[in-house]
Structure 1
């Protein structure tokens, strides 16, 4: 019988909801039943929430201490959260959003090779700055030279020839190398932090277990967060 009822209803007229009459156009759109249902549901949810909050406020102990008192404050009746250190800098966020992990690894490898070359150049430059010893020492086996005065011996010694222009140029070059080396090391450290953060985010998305991982250390601008997953036995 139900099949015949459905067949009979197939040829019935489809009744549409009425539109807003012309004399009521100034009142806006006509509210339909689905609009009323959503509005009533939202109103009742807010009503229950306010009721629960009012109950908690009445049952609250004014002498109770909780840590959020330290991390927040109220000024002129307005509630403010204390500023906390962001985990990521704007540059790190931009790199993590726009670049891939392979790009970060490639750039980090490039920076490591540059650092090794600069370290070799700095060590060679420090060797060049050492003055060569040109002291002349006389044979002390003879008795006559052994009796000479110490002052005369130092007077006869030849002092090394120092080229001050070359020393100044070498010092300036070494300073430039050290500055570039410091920039490269900082850049490599930032790329390493970004790489660790991207790997952690991918691991969080990939390893979807029943229990969420436990955060051991909170991430900062100079360190990636540390998570620990519960051991799950493989089937």
Structure 2
């Protein structure tokens, strides 16, 4: 080694890791890099051991188990096949094979916005009026029998069941109602029913797209699992995605 390299090495400053501050001594020893290195090596070594043991377990005695053991049952001495419910519908399979998750998310967002727009047009007045009111009026003692709700609200008795569009008597006197024949009323009623049917179909469509999106996201996460495979907690159906329990993986 040349003299100038020796001189440079002799003048090199030694960098040391700081100790635990006095105000944090109650938290224990401050972990140094060498301590972290030992813990990280031990963690990865255990992970590789578990991976190897899992592989040996799967490769051991492959002829000892076959799926017909769990796919059939014996009833009255006769074997019966266990019928499994299909996890995917034909529409779900078609979309999952031909489209990506971004397309599914876009279509679900479009359906959600259309549902909100149709509901805002109808205001859902019939559904709102179907639920009972919970408004409480306080009256003096002895006035319960003579209390007139229509008079208190200053409206017509036939409008008491409404939660919206309940005008006062003074407004009813000034209100000029247009002349509407029975055919127009039936047409409006039919159009409203068609709108409610469309909302129902779009809600079902949005639910189906949500299930497809959940299944595709779960499939992507299962492909990312490398060391330890997740445990299936609940089997998926046509209307719900399967549920997996993913093991905790310590990040570097």
TM (norm. structure 1) is 0.53
1:101 and 1:206 mapped to 2: Cα distance? 16
* Runs of at least 4 residues off by over 4 Å: 73-77, 124-127, 130-136, 159-162
Q: 1:228 and 1:93 mapped to 2: Cα distance?
A: 24
Alignment match, 1:83: 83
- Counterpart-to-counterpart distance in 1, 2:125 and 2:184: 12
Q: Number of aligned pairs? A: 150
Does residue 104 of structure 2 align to residue 104 of structure 1? yes
Partner in structure 2 of residue 121 of structure 1: 121
Asked if residue 221 in structure 1 is aligned to residue 238 in structure 2, the reply is yes
Give the equivalent residue in structure 2 for 1:201: 219
Q: 1:76 to 1:119 in 2, by over 3 A?
A: same
1:131–1:162 Cα contact (<8 Å) kept: no
Q: 1:183 aligned to 201, 205, 210, which one?
A: 201
Q: CA deviation digits over 1:123-166, x for unaligned, max 9?
A: 28869xx7987866xxxxxxxxxxxxxxxxxxxxxx99764233
- Name the larger-Rg structure: 1
- Aligned to 1:184, what secondary structure does the other structure show? helix
Distance 1:200 1:49, change over 3 A: closer
State the alpha-carbon separation in 1 of the partners of residues 76 and 199 from structure 2.
48
Question: Unaligned stretches of 5+ in structure 2?
Answer: 1-60, 127-161
C-alpha separation in 2, matches of 1:124 and 1:203: 39
**C-alpha displacement at 1:234, in angstroms?**
1.3
TM-score, with normalisation over the residues of structure 2? 0.49
* Alignment CA distance shift 1:100-1:173 (3 Å): same
Displacement, 1:90? 1.5
C-alpha deviation, 1:76, in angstroms:
10
